[in-house]
Amino acid sequence: MATRASRLAGWPGRTRLAAVVAVPVLLVGAVAVSLALAGRGGGAPNPTGRGDLERLVADFVDGMPRAHSGGYDVPSAAEMGAMASAFQALLDGDLAGASAMAGPLGYRLSSFTDTATGRTLEVLSDEGPRSAAGGSHGWGLYFHDPRSRSTLTVEVAHPLDDVHSALVGVDIFRDASAANLLVAGTSRYADPHEVADMAHQRDSVFERVHEVALRSTSVDLEPHGFDETDHPPTYGQIVVSSGSHTPSDLVKSLAAGLAAAGFSVCVYDGRACEGLGGTSNVQGESSREAGGHFVHLEIDRAIRDDPSLRQQLAEVVARTIARGSRA
């Protein structure tokens, strides 16, 4: 499939405010600014002010391009590089630079305070419309906590197709006070050429942002979903993997913690729970290449659908990652 020419220059100017529809909120004691939605479809939230991070992410997933929609805008090399540079600037605390680099691509930098945790996050979100189809790019939604001291980045590669995996991601991000949360922007099946699958596509904004956040001390965790009825009972409720045939010490520790919490767990070792080890996951490949740690979770639907079980899982992950960072 031919990649589009770069749109880094030559766009006509426009008034950004005209693309934004303000969502009114009730005022209780103080003025609160809610989530604004911009663009036509494509899950293009502009998070500003205060709100519930889980609700924001859930709305983003609900609005993203579906399977076979053609709603994924294949990025050029220049566009991937610009978005990576914008996220690097964000990590460096250069908010003006991040905004200047992301703006020409239709991305907006804003601050959002999660009312559940009180954490104020910096967010890169697609304003849309920018794609040939008139919607957002489908490149994803990116959060960074400048005050986090965690080594953890939570990455949701299949937020629409692995139902409620994004909510698992939010719970882990919150409980672990993780540094970053990356949420892919479209169904993995949105493009007929299979280039919209962020877990298996190296040439993507999602992968480039992941690579920018990588450090040798990094822990990159991806929650996915599987249908337990399609697999033997030996697969359990959660499959834990390092994305390779050899489970890392961190993966073994996490599996033990989950089992102690009452979950049925399978550790992928090249044989057990075959097919759910995430061995072709490109974020796992680049994490290992950088000397970091990668954790791939396959979670059954019953856990993903249950807020209390999601929270219990997130607490175990947070404790395990925290212990690992102190080791």
Domain extents for the chain? Answer: 32-326
Q: Is the pLDDT of residue 167 over 70?
A: yes
pLDDT digits (tens, 9 = 90+) for 50-84: 999 999 999 999 999 999 999 999 999 999 999 99
Which pLDDT tens digit goes with each residue over 266-293? 999 999 999 999 999 999 999 999 999 9
pLDDT, tens only, 227-251: 988 999 999 999 999 999 999 999 9
Cα separation of 210 and 83, whole Å? 11
Q: Looking at the predicted structure, is the pLDDT value of residue 121 above 90?
A: yes
Q: What is the pLDDT of residues 128-157, one digit of tens each?
A: 655 445 568 999 999 999 999 999 999 999
Write down the pLDDT at residue 3.
39
Q: Do 167 and 54 meet the contact criterion of CB atoms below 8 Å apart?
A: yes
Structure tokens at 82: 């610009």
Q: What is the architecture of the domain spanning 32-326?
A: 3-Layer(aba) Sandwich (3.40)
Q: What pTM value is reported for the model? A: 0.85
* Selected residue with higher pLDDT from 27 and 47: 47
pLDDT average, residue stretch 83-102 = 98
Say if residue 160's pLDDT is above 60. Answer: yes
